[in-house]
Structure 1
Amino acid sequence: MTRAQDSGREAEDLARAHLERQGLRLLAQNWHCRQGELDLVMLDGDTVVFVEVRYRQHAAWGGALESVDARKRTKLTAAAQQFLLRQTRWSAHPCRFDVIAVSPDPHHGPQLNWIQNAFDT
C-alpha cells in the first residue's frame, strides 16, 4: 500500500468515526462495483448517505472539495444506484450525497469539513 493509500484509508477511518459520533450508522465501507467505489455508506435516521471522503496533503493541488467534479459526481451517482439495486432493503429510503474533506493541520491534527447534501443527482 502506498503512502497516499495509507493517508486515504486514515482519512476514511477519521470520517467514519466522526460520523458515528454524530449518530450515523455504517452500512458499507469501500463498496466496489463496475461503476466505481463508495467510500462510506451510512444511515442517518432513515436516510442512506453516500459519503465521499477526500484527503489533500497540499492545497496547491486543489482543495478536497473542489476535487469532487462533475465526472466524479457522475461516477458516485452510478455506484450509488448499483448499491441500491443490490441492497434492495435500502432502495425505498431517501438518499443524499455528502463529502468529508480532510486536510492536515500540523498544529491541531487533521481537520474535517463535513458538507451535507454536497450535490444533487
Structure 2
Amino acid sequence: MYNKRKIGGDYEKLAANHLREKGYTILELNFYHRGGELDIIAKDGKYLVFVEVKYRTTIHNGYPEEAIDYRKRKSIIQSANYYMYSHGYYEDTPCRFDAVVILDNEIKVIQDAFEI
C-alpha cells in the first residue's frame, strides 16, 4: 500500500543525513503547529535554517523545486516565524530558507532557495 506520509518521512531523513554530511546540525525534523509544518530545522554556521524537502522520481510532473510555490513559501515563512517566537529566537537571528530537492537518486541542496 502506498503511504505518502511514510515515503515523505523517509526522504526527509535522507535529506537530513545529507545535510549532516555537509556540516549542518539538525535541530528538529517535522515541526508541526496549527499553521503548518517545517520539514527540517537546522543550524549552518551562524544561520538558523528552515529546510523544505521535495522529491520526485521523474520530471513527468515537473522538477521538485517547482513545487515550492508562493503558497508553500508563505506557509513556510509563517511556520518559521512561529518556531522562532516559540523557541526564544530574536528577530535579528540570521536565518535562511534552503531546499533539498531529490530527483530519482540525485540530491541537491539549494541554499537561500527563497527570501522573505
Instruction: With the length of structure 2 as denominator, give the TM-score of the two structures.
Output: 0.92
| Displacement over 3 Å in runs of 4+ | 89-92
Q: CA deviation at 1:13?
A: 0.9
Residue 113 of structure 1 pairs with residue 104 of structure 2: no
Q: Could you say which residue in structure 2 is the equivalent of 1:47?
A: 47
Question: 1:9-20 counterparts in 2 under 5 A?
Answer: 9-20=9-20
Count of residue pairs the alignment pairs up:
116
The change in CA–CA distance for 1:115 and 1:3 in structure 2 (over 3 A counts) is same
Question: How far apart in 2 are the matches of 1:34 and 1:61?
Answer: 29
Q: Which residue identity does 2:30 align to in structure 1?
A: N
Q: Which residue identity does 2:115 align to in structure 1?
A: D
Percent of residue pairs identical: 34
Q: Could you say which residue in structure 2 is the equivalent of 1:31?
A: 31
Question: How far apart in 2 are the matches of 1:38 and 1:7?
Answer: 16
Q: CA deviation at 1:23?
A: 1.2
Question: How far apart in 1 are the matches of 2:90 and 2:51?
Answer: 15
Question: How far apart in 2 are the matches of 1:6 and 1:90?
Answer: 34
Structure 1 spans left out of the alignment, 5+ residues: 105-109
Residues 24-74 of structure 1, C-alpha deviations (whole Å, 9 max, x = no match): 111111001111000000001121000000011231112110000000000
Question: How far apart in 2 are the matches of 1:120 and 1:89?
Answer: 18
Question: 1:48-63 counterparts in 2 under 5 A?
Answer: 48-63=48-63
Question: How far apart in 2 are the matches of 1:111 and 1:3?
Answer: 22
Alignment root-mean-square deviation, CA: 1.6
Residues 4-23 of structure 1, C-alpha deviations (whole Å, 9 max, x = no match): 22321121111100111111
Q: Secondary structure at the match of 1:54?
A: strand
Q: Secondary structure at the match of 2:68?
A: coil
8-17 vs 83-92, which moves further? 83-92
Instruction: With the length of structure 1 as denominator, give the TM-score of the two structures.
Output: 0.88
Please state which structure has a larger fraction of its residues in strand.
2
Question: How far apart in 1 are the matches of 2:8 and 2:88?
Answer: 29
